[in-house]
Amino acid sequence: MSKKDTELKPKPAPESGKGFSRRGFLGTSTAAGAVGSGLMEQTAEAAQGAGGKGITLAGETEITLNINGQPRKVTVEPRTTLLDALRDRMEVTGAKRVCDRGTCGACSVIVNGKVSYGCTMLAIDAQGKRIQTIEGFGNHPVINAFVQHDGLQCGYCTPGMVVAAKALLDRNPRPSSQEILEGMGGNLCRCGTYVGIKQAVAEAAKELRGGRNA
Interface contacts to another protein, rule CB under 8 A: 40, 44, 48, 52-58, 77, 79-80, 84, 87-88, 91, 93-101, 103-104, 106, 133-135, 137, 143-144, 146-148, 150-159, 162, 180-182, 184-185, 187-198
**Nearest residue (CB) to another protein, 189 versus 208:** 189
**Nearest residue (CB) to another protein, 17 versus 69:** 69
CB atoms within 10 A of CB 129: 15
Amino acid at 1: M
CA–CA distance, 131 with 94 (Å, rounded to integer): 13
CA-CA-CA-CA dihedral for 179, 181, 186, 187, to nearest 10: 140
Q: How far is the CB of 29 from another protein (least distance, A)?
A: 11
CB atoms within 10 A of CB 56: 8
Q: How far is the CB of 95 from another protein (least distance, A)?
A: 8
Which DSSP category does 140 fall into?
-
**Nearest residue (CB) to another protein, 9 versus 101:** 101
Contact 80, 62 (CB under 8 A): no
**Nearest residue (CB) to another protein, 63 versus 194:** 194
Q: How far is the CB of 112 from another protein (least distance, A)?
A: 20
Q: How far is the CB of 18 from another protein (least distance, A)?
A: 21
**Nearest residue (CB) to another protein, 13 versus 154:** 154
**Nearest residue (CB) to another protein, 9 versus 212:** 212
CA–CA distance, 146 with 99 (Å, rounded to integer): 23
Q: How far is the CB of 17 from another protein (least distance, A)?
A: 25
Helix (H, G, I), strand (E, B) or coil at 111: strand
Q: How far is the CB of 189 from another protein (least distance, A)?
A: 8
Helix (H, G, I), strand (E, B) or coil at 204: helix
CA–CA distance, 65 with 125 (Å, rounded to integer): 10
Q: List C-alpha distances in Å: 27 to 23, 55, 126, 135, 193.
A: 6, 33, 22, 33, 32
